[in-house]
Every structure is written in C-alpha cells, then in structure tokens.
Amino acid sequence: MTDPTLFWTAALAAAFFVGGSKGGLPVIALLSVPTMSLVMSPMQGAALLLPVYLVSDVFGIWIYRHSFSRRNLVILIPAAATGVFAGWLLAGDTDENVVRVIIGCVGLTFLAMRQRSRMIGKRNPQPADVPRGLIWGSVSGFTSFVSHAGGPAFQLYVLPQQLPKLMFAGTSTILFAIINVMKVPPYLALGLIEWGDLRTVAILSPMAIFGAWVGYRLTRLIPQRTFFIVVEIALFLISVNLIRVGLSS
C-alpha cells in the first residue's frame, strides 16, 4: 500500500499542475499523470485526476471567457470529439506507449521545422485552416483520452498561427475543458471513475484552483516572446520524455 505522505504529496503536486494548465500554462498539465504514476498506475492516476480537471476547468473558462479564438474552437471541438470517440472504441487495443512515442516524434519534428524557419527568415502567421485543424484536433482528442497528453498536438496546430499569448492560453483552456467533459461518459462506461474517489477530489480541487490562479498571473506577467519560447522548450522536454517513457515501458 502506498505511503499516505507520498500519495498526498504526489496528488497535491499533480492537482497544482492541472490547475496551472487551466490558468494559461497548458504544457505543465502533462506533468500531472506522470506525477500520479509515482504512487499508482497511469490509468488510475488519469481517472482520479479527471474530476479535478473538470473542477479547475470551470475556473479556467471564467478566467478566459473573453480571450479565445472562436474560429479555432469551431474547427477543433468537432475534430476532438472524433478523437475521443476513437479512443473509446480502441480503448482495449491501444498501446499507450506507442501513442507516447508518436506524439514525442511529431513534437520534435515540429520544433525542428520551427527552428529551420527561423534560420531562413521570419514566416507569416499561418491561418486556422480546416484540414490541419481536423487532423490535429482529432489527434489531440485521441491522445487526451488515452493519456491526458493532448497538448502537443494542439500546439502543433496553433503555434504557427502566432496568436496573442492570452488568446493562445484561452483557446487551449476552453478546448480541453470541453474535451474533458466529452471524456466523462467513456470513462464511466469503462469503469475508470469510482465514486469513492470523490472525497480525494474534494481535497485536491482547492489546490487545482490555486494552481489556475498562479498560472494566470504568470501568463499575464511573462512577455509574449518569452511565453512562446517557454512553450517551445516545454514541448521539447515533454516530447523527449514521452519518447523515453514509451520506449522504456
């Protein structure tokens, strides 16, 4: 049985990461499930954290209710729903480690292309086009369902658009709030959510809300150029870690 001190330390840290992502730092959400994996299986950790995501989503939506890209959401939400549905259908046949490796490789490829573009010269922002949005939105929904790792696919689609930082953060927060709601029926159907965990969720939720507030304050304070440099560095570290975990498991 897991030591209670270790469990609550990991759980509170994971809840803070969840909240921070809702406050405008989407990449740190990918630290939540690995942190919980220190004290329980990854799927158990993901299921336990889903209600915490839902609670912090309410706060995140309120924060960014005026800062988001409507066009991106119109494109990405239906695509993400397709990805979540595919994840549900393939839940018994999907190798999470293969998904992690693919996401990591795509993330590194994207960053290499971004660096090449900088060396060649400044590129104009890309539009929020439907074909790319449908592809990456579906991937984001699927990987979010499998391992709460939808962030890299979202960034691959949205970063080239060079949105203002608050619009980028708000679009991410609202999109993944909707994806998390979509995940509830499949998670219940698969028996991943247990009502006995709600007491734990009630304890973790205030930490998630505090994390959302901290994330929002940091997002407002960080200069836009620095913000996106941090996002790209985090995407690099996360991509490398996803490959490492996928290959070593």
Percent of the chain, pLDDT > 70? 91
pLDDT-derived band of residue 81, with 50, 70 and 90 as boundaries?
very high
Q: Is the pTM of this model over 0.85?
A: no
pLDDT at 75 over 60: yes
pLDDT at 167 (0 to 100): 93
Higher confidence at residue 125 or residue 123? 125
Q: What tokens were used for 184?
A: 């509830």
pLDDT at 155 (0 to 100): 84
Nearest to 217 by CA among 17, 23, 15, 16: 23
248 class by beta-carbon count within 10 Å (0-12 exposed, 13-18 middle, 19+ buried): exposed
CA distances from 99 to 1, 13, 39 (A): 30, 25, 22
Task: Point out the least confidently predicted range of 72-86, 154-168, 227-241.
Answer: 227-241
Cβ contact 15:47 at 8 Å: no
CA distances from 103 to 24, 53, 93, 97 (A): 21, 21, 18, 10
Q: What tokens were used for 177?
A: 């709030």
Task: Point out the least confidently predicted range of 41-45, 72-76, 163-167.
Answer: 41-45
Give mean pLDDT, residues 96-108: 75
Highest mean pLDDT among 60-64, 112-116, 149-153: 60-64
pLDDT at 27 (0 to 100): 65
pLDDT at 85 (0 to 100): 94
pLDDT at 2 (0 to 100): 63
pLDDT at 120 (0 to 100): 66
Nearest to 218 by CA among 203, 237, 204, 234: 234
pLDDT at 107 (0 to 100): 74
Owner of token pair 């994840």: 87
pLDDT at 176 (0 to 100): 92
Give mean pLDDT, residues 152-173: 88
Give mean pLDDT, residues 121-128: 76
Please count the other Cβ atoms lying within 10 Å of the Cβ belonging to residue 72: 23
Tens of pLDDT along 12-71? 988 998 888 788 776 677 677 777 777 776 667 777 888 888 888 888 899 889 999 999
CA distances from 121 to 116, 124, 231 (A): 9, 10, 20
pLDDT at 138 (0 to 100): 96
Higher confidence at residue 122 or residue 216? 216
pLDDT at 71 (0 to 100): 96
CA distances from 22 to 19, 117, 186 (A): 5, 30, 22
Q: What tokens were used for 63?
A: 């924060």
Tens of pLDDT along 191-230? 877 766 778 888 898 998 898 888 888 888 888 778 778 7
Q: What is the mean pLDDT of the chain?
A: 83
pLDDT at 132 (0 to 100): 94
